[in-house]
Amino acid sequence: MTNRIEVNPKIMMGKPVIKGTRITVENILERLAAEELVEDILEALPRLKREDIFAALQFDRESGT
């Protein structure tokens, strides 16, 4: 798994998040599934970096969710 993702039961009830944020992998994946552009996601969630979005995709692939 990528080192940009954190799973901590004290943060967002243990959902995988981007480290240092409360932005869940699920939120990112839902936005991508809704065909939101990466640039639009980055604008809407300014704490994210492009690498975080790709890390969320990698996490999803590796975890098999």
pLDDT at 8 over 60: yes
pLDDT at 9 over 90: yes
For the chain, list the domains and their CATH numbers: 5-63 (1.10.10.10)
pLDDT of 65:
59
Dist. CA 31–CA 1, nearest whole Å: 21
CA nearest neighbour of 48 among 25, 15, 30: 25
Q: What is the pLDDT of residues 11-48, one digit of tens each?
A: 999 999 999 999 999 999 999 999 999 999 999 999 99
Residue 31 falls in which region: left (phi positive, over 0), alpha (psi -120 to 50) or beta: alpha
> What is the per-residue DSSP string for 12-27?
GGG--EETTS--BHHH
Say what the pTM is.
0.91
